[in-house]
């Protein structure tokens, strides 16, 4: 599509947007009766209005039936998991029995490392991106130590070349090839939280498999944001949080994917009673017997309030349809890029260095901009105008318009304000 800079063009895009009514399903932050422009769906997605009802339902089941709610609530708690897994499996491109909703992201990352980082004297390395999210770094480092290896030699970080901000796929692949015989696990973010770069997960997976290593992804910034085909790509495992693009609330319940090909193997795992074979779980017998599929990795009694909030958010995804969300994501972010590039090329200072890749296959909603001058003032100026973006030291502004509740007109208004602040 050929974009234009006028307000009326933004309004035309809004009018033609098949998802425009979905904004009303969310609570948009406001002050003095005026809605803010919220571009922080990459950090904490907004609240679905329906979350309140679903959480209230759990409270009232609990009040009227107590523990009997597991079996006798209008929607029995025992089967609630199934309402989540179906829409989620579409979002991550998996079979329903490859997906489990449980715990939180860092916990799930640890559980996956227990199962898929099984080093020996020859194969013990983990290949990952340099500057992975800190929690991920800590998880890798502690597992490596726990297995008796030294993180300094066992963790191989692939970094951008000098003067570049993002990783080249060829460099990732050549690192996997170079360390192939010694690599136990290749573990990348799906999308890097800082740069917004969407890695080529399919190619990384192929290279890891060719090297004889296991391969997994942390999809915190990818799940609910970009198109994924975990099953078809033959990824071993993945995990994600659901409070970012999946709008399921602060500290929301996390998710994990374990490829079907591993369901029959006896991988090492840390077990709990909720992962025990479902029909016989309540016999409470000695000796762990896993449920078939990804659910066999569950540990604990599910957090029903978290389930309820997640369900509210996933129902909206289902109603909107994942394909339409992806199409709007491309259009909305493409439009933002167009306006930002216009601003940068028409200003004398060329104050913006884009660190997110321009190519739509290498990014999702997020745009990260390194500001050469006055970054903090520009960020504060946006805040003052009711536009939420995110500031990362030393000088990066990140923003992410999301398809379910952001509009083309909001992107336009942001761009106008930004242009004036840049001067
Ligand atoms: C957001 C994020 C986390 C946060 O982990 P929690 O356990 O949910 O606090 C971890 N890793 C990545 C890559 C993230 O983007």
Ranges of each domain in the chain: 7-47+322-422, 55-319
Say what the pLDDT of residue 199 is: 98
Residue with tokens 């696990």: 185
Q: Which CATH architecture has domain 55-319?
A: 3-Layer(aba) Sandwich (3.40)
Distance from the alpha carbon of residue 135 to the mean position of ligand 1, in angstroms? 6
Residue with tokens 């952001």: 406
Q: What are the Cα distances from residue 102, in Å, to 70, 114, 304?
A: 17, 16, 11
Candidate of 105, 194, 238, 368 to mutate for ligand 1, largest count of ligand atoms within 8 Å of Cβ: 105
**Is residue 245 within 6 Å of ligand 1 at its C-beta?**
no
Q: Would strands 99-101 and 255-258 be described as parallel, antiparallel, or unpaired?
A: antiparallel
Candidate of 44, 102, 133, 138 to mutate for ligand 1, largest count of ligand atoms within 8 Å of Cβ: 133
* Nearest CA owner, ligand 1 atom 13: 133
Query: Three-class SS of residue 267?
Result: coil
Say what the pLDDT of residue 349 is: 79
Q: Which CATH architecture has domain 7-47+322-422?
A: Alpha-Beta Complex (3.90)
Say what the pLDDT of residue 256 is: 98
* Nearest CA owner, ligand 1 atom 8: 105
Global pTM value: 0.97
**Is residue 17 within 6 Å of ligand 1 at its C-beta?**
no
Q: Would strands 214-218 and 237-240 be described as parallel, antiparallel, or unpaired?
A: parallel
pLDDT-derived band at 264, boundaries 50, 70, 90: confident
Contact present, 251 and 242 (Cβ < 8 Å) = no
Whether omega before 423 lies within 30 degrees of 0, making that bond cis, reads no
pLDDT in tens, 167-200: 999 999 999 999 999 999 999 999 999 999 999 9
With both helix axes pointing from N to C terminus, report the angle between 7-15 and 408-422 in degrees, rounded to the nearest 10.
160
Q: What are phi and psi of 2, to 5 degrees?
A: -95, 115
Q: What are the Cα distances from residue 328, in Å, to 1, 7, 37, 182, 399?
A: 12, 19, 18, 42, 16
* Long-range Cβ contact pairs of 88-91 (< 8 A, separation 24 or more): 88/255, 88/314, 90/318, 90/322, 91/223, 91/224, 91/228, 91/246, 91/317, 91/322
Say what the pLDDT of residue 348 is: 79
pLDDT-derived band at 46, boundaries 50, 70, 90: very high
pLDDT in tens, 288-309: 999 999 999 999 999 999 999 9
pLDDT in tens, 206-259: 999 999 999 999 999 999 999 999 999 999 999 999 999 999 999 999 999 999
Euclidean distance between CA atoms 304 and 310, whole angstroms: 10
Residue with tokens 């992107």: 411
Say what the pLDDT of residue 282 is: 86
**Is residue 225 within 6 Å of ligand 1 at its C-beta?**
no
pLDDT-derived band at 281, boundaries 50, 70, 90: confident
Cα atoms in the 13 Å half-sphere on the side-chain side of 420: 8
Say what the pLDDT of residue 227 is: 98
Say what the pLDDT of residue 248 is: 98
Whole-number average pLDDT of the chain: 96
Mean pLDDT of 316-328: 98
**Is residue 188 within 6 Å of ligand 1 at its C-beta?**
no
* Nearest CA owner, ligand 1 atom 15: 220
Candidate of 189, 198, 201, 220 to mutate for ligand 1, largest count of ligand atoms within 8 Å of Cβ: 220
Distance from the alpha carbon of residue 91 to the mean position of ligand 1, in angstroms? 18
Euclidean distance between CA atoms 24 and 405, whole angstroms: 8
Q: Is the dihedral of CA 152, 159, 123, 116 positive or negative?
A: positive
Atom of ligand 1 nearest to the CA of 107: 7
Helix ranges (H only) for 66-160 are 69-72, 80-92, 105-116, 134-146, 151-154
Look up residue 236 and give its DSSP letter.
S
Distance from the alpha carbon of residue 244 to the mean position of ligand 1, in angstroms? 9
Query: Three-class SS of residue 27?
Result: coil
pLDDT in tens, 64-103: 999 999 999 999 999 999 999 999 999 999 999 999 999 9
Candidate of 135, 223, 255, 310 to mutate for ligand 1, largest count of ligand atoms within 8 Å of Cβ: 135
């Amino acid at each position: 599509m050929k974009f234009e800079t006028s307000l009326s063009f933004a309004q035309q895009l809004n009018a033609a947007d098949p998802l425009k009514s979905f904004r009303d399903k969310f609570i948009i932050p406001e002050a003095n009766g005026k809605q803010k422009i919220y571009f922080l769906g990459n950090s904490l997605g907004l609240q679905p209005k329906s979350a309140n009802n679903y959480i209230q339902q759990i409270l009232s089941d609990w009040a009227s039936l107590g523990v009997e709610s597991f079996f006798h609530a209008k929607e029995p708690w025992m089967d609630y998991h199934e309402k989540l897994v179906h829409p989620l499996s579409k979002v991550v491109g998996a079979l329903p029995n490859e997906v489990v909703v449980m715990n939180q992201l860092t916990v799930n990352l640890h559980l996956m490392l227990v199962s898929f980082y099984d080093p020996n004297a020859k194969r013990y390395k983990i290949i990952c991106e340099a500057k992975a999210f800190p929690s991920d770094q800590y998880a890798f480092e502690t597992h490596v130590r726990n297995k008796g290896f030294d993180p300094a030699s066992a963790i191989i970080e692939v970094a951008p070349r000098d003067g570049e901000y993002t990783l080249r796929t060829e460099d990732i692949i050549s690192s996997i090839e170079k360390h192939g015989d010694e690599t136990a696990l290749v573990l990348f973010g799906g999308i890097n939280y800082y740069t917004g770069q969407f890695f080529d997960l399919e190619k990384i997976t192929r290279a890891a498999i060719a090297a004889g290593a296991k391969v997994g992804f942390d999809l915190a910034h990818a799940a609910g944001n970009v198109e994924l085909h975990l099953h078809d790509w033959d990824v071993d495992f993945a995990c994600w949080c659901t409070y970012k693009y999946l709008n399921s609330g602060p500290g929301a319940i996390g998710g994990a994917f374990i490829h079907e090909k591993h369901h029959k193997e006896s991988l090492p795992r840390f077990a709990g009673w909720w992962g025990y074979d479902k029909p016989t779980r309540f016999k409470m017998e000695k000796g762990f017997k896993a449920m078939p599929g990804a659910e066999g990795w569950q540990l604990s009694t599910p957090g029903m309030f978290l389930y309820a909030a997640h369900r509210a958010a996933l129902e909206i995804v289902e109603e909107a349809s994942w394909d339409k969300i992806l199409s709007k994501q491309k259009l909305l972010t493409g439009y933002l890029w167009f306006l930002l590039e216009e601003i940068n090329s028409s200003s004398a200072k060329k104050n913006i260095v884009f660190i997110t890749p321009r190519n739509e296959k290498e990014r999702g909603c997020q745009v990260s901009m390194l500001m050469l001058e006055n970054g903090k003032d520009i960020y504060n100026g946006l805040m003052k105008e009711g536009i939420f973006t995110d500031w990362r030291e030393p000088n990066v502004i990140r923003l992410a318009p999301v398809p379910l509740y952001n509009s083309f007109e909001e992107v336009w208004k942001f761009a106008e304000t930004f242009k004036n602040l840049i001067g």
